[in-house]
């Protein structure tokens, strides 16, 4: 099953053409699904690219499809100190952070086959996947998703599968609060 914007979308170039955004970061989508002969909707967001930060190669060569960045890193015996305990120990021993090269690699995400992150979608049959809006950065993407969820009142309508907004506003808490004042 493919995504649709104005027409079917099968590539990032299709998204660029149909949205008019030269460098799309991700999109807000609506999935239509059925269960027990009833139709339900789910709204979410999906990034078009995944980002991976890895230590630079020892040879100094840049990885394919990467950009080089530098971070101040504490290393102990050639290994990067990650935990607070290791970092504190290193500082006590007088080990200072060094400017260390990293490669940031962007790869295309699994957006074509994506069917939503919600575990609540399990057991539903997906009928359609529609792109509602395209964003050029993470802030816009998050805003657009939350805006659609609020505008459609997705948490309180029984036709929506969504159970929270931004992992902060949960349906159960909202309904309890509404019932107290009604």
* Chain center to CA of 58: 31
pTM of the model: 0.77
Q: Is the dihedral of CA 14, 19, 21, 27 positive or negative?
A: negative
Q: What is the DSSP letter of 95?
A: P
- Tell me the pLDDT tens digit for each residue of 118-171: 787 888 999 999 999 999 999 999 999 999 999 999 988 999 998 888 777 777
Question: What pLDDT is attached to residue 171?
Answer: 73
Domain limits of the chain?
A: 3-48+109-181, 51-106
Burial classification of residue 13, based on how many CB atoms lie within 10 Å of its CB (0-12 exposed, 13-18 middle, 19 or more buried): exposed
Question: What residues have CB less than 8 Å from 176, skipping those under 6 apart?
Answer: none
Residue 23: band (very low, low, confident or very high) from pLDDT cuts 50, 70, 90: very high
- Tell me the pLDDT tens digit for each residue of 59-110: 999 998 899 999 988 887 777 777 888 888 888 888 888 888 999 998 999 9
Residue 17: pLDDT over 60: yes
Alpha helix segments (H runs only) across 20-163: 84-92, 138-151
What are the strands, taking DSSP E only, across 18-116?
26-35, 38-47, 49-55, 66-73, 75-76, 79-80, 98-108
Q: Is the dihedral of CA 113, 118, 124, 130 positive or negative?
A: negative
């Amino acid at each position: 099953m493919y995504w649709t914007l104005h027409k079917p979308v099968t590539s990032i170039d299709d998204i660029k053409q149909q949205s008019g955004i030269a460098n799309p970061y991700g999109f807000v989508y609506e999935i239509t699904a059925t269960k027990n002969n009833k139709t339900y909707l789910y709204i979410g967001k999906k990034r078009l690219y995944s980002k991976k930060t890895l230590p630079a190669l020892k040879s100094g060569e840049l990885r394919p499809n990467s950009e080089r960045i530098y971070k101040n890193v504490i290393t102990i015996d050639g290994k990067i100190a990650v935990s607070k305990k290791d970092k504190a120990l290193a500082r006590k021993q007088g080990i200072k952070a060094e400017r260390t090269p990293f490669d940031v690699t962007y790869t295309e995400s699994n957006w074509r086959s994506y069917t939503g992150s919600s575990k609540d979608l399990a057991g539903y049959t997906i009928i359609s996947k529609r792109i509602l809006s395209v964003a050029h950065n993470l802030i816009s993407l998050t805003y657009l998703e939350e805006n659609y969820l609020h505008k459609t009142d997705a948490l309180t309508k029984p036709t929506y599968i969504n159970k929270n907004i931004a992992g902060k506003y949960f349906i159960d808490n909202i309904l309890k609060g509404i019932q107290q004042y009604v």
